[in-house]
Structure formats: C-alpha cells, structure tokens
Amino acid sequence: MLGKNLKNLRGKRTQEEIAKAVGLSRARYAHYENDIREPDLETLERFADFFDVSIDYLLGRTEKQKLAPQEEADLTFKPLLTVQNYRSFTKNFLIRKKRQLRDYVTFGKF
C-alpha cells in the first residue's frame, strides 16, 4: 500500500526529484515505491512531511490524507481526559466505600 500511495502522491514528478527532496538515492526511493523495501520511521516522517500527509495515510491505514484540526485537538486532549476520568472515578469510588463503611459501622450492614 505504501508504494501505491507514494506513486499517487508523486504524480508527474520523477522519482529522482522526490528522492532528492527527501534525501534519498533514486534507487532507494524506487525500492519503497515498488514495495521492495520498507522505510524506517524517520523516512516515513520525511515522506509525510514532504507530501503533507499523515503516516497513516502513507501506510494505507486511513483514506484521509490529513486529520482535520478538530481531530488533532481531540487526539491531543484524549489522554488528559482519560486521566481526569480516572481521578473522578477514583474519587467517587472512595466516597462510596467511605459511606459503605460508615453504614456498616452505624447499622452493621452494607
């Protein structure tokens, strides 16, 4: 899938032009475009930056070439929200347990 996407993104430019722009030999670039070799992460990042697409798009994991700004913001805040949800859950859990313990001590039952 990577090779097909590289070919499509290259358009009418030559392999030599793309290879030079991303700091590769033409032969190395051709290997990636023909799915003979797989690039390392750094090379994938250079392709993504050059073509202004996501690495997921290059690898065929999504049809969207780039994430919309709101989607990028959602990804940025998702871990933060998860931490906040965990803290809220923990706090509520402890409050419930404290009430149960108080009821047990007061009434002898849960």
Task: Please write the tens of the pLDDT for every residue from 61-108.
Answer: 887 776 545 555 455 555 555 655 556 666 776 777 778 888 778 776
Q: Which amino acid is at 86?
A: Y
Provide the residue ranges of all domains of the chain, joining segments of one domain with +: 2-58, 67-110
The residue count for the chain: 110
pLDDT, residue 89, reads 61
Q: Is the pTM of this model over 0.85?
A: no
Please check the confidence at residue 14 and state whether its pLDDT lies above 60.
yes
Task: Please write the tens of the pLDDT for every residue from 42-64.
Answer: 999 999 989 989 888 898 888 77
Mean pLDDT computed over every residue of the chain: 80
pLDDT, residue 100, reads 80
Q: Which amino acid is at 64?
A: K
CATH architecture for the domain at 2-58: Orthogonal Bundle (1.10)
Q: How far apart are CA 81 and CA 47, in angstroms?
A: 32
CA nearest to 57, candidates 108, 109, 8, 107: 8
pLDDT, residue 9, reads 92
Q: How many CB atoms lie within 10 A of CB 6?
A: 21
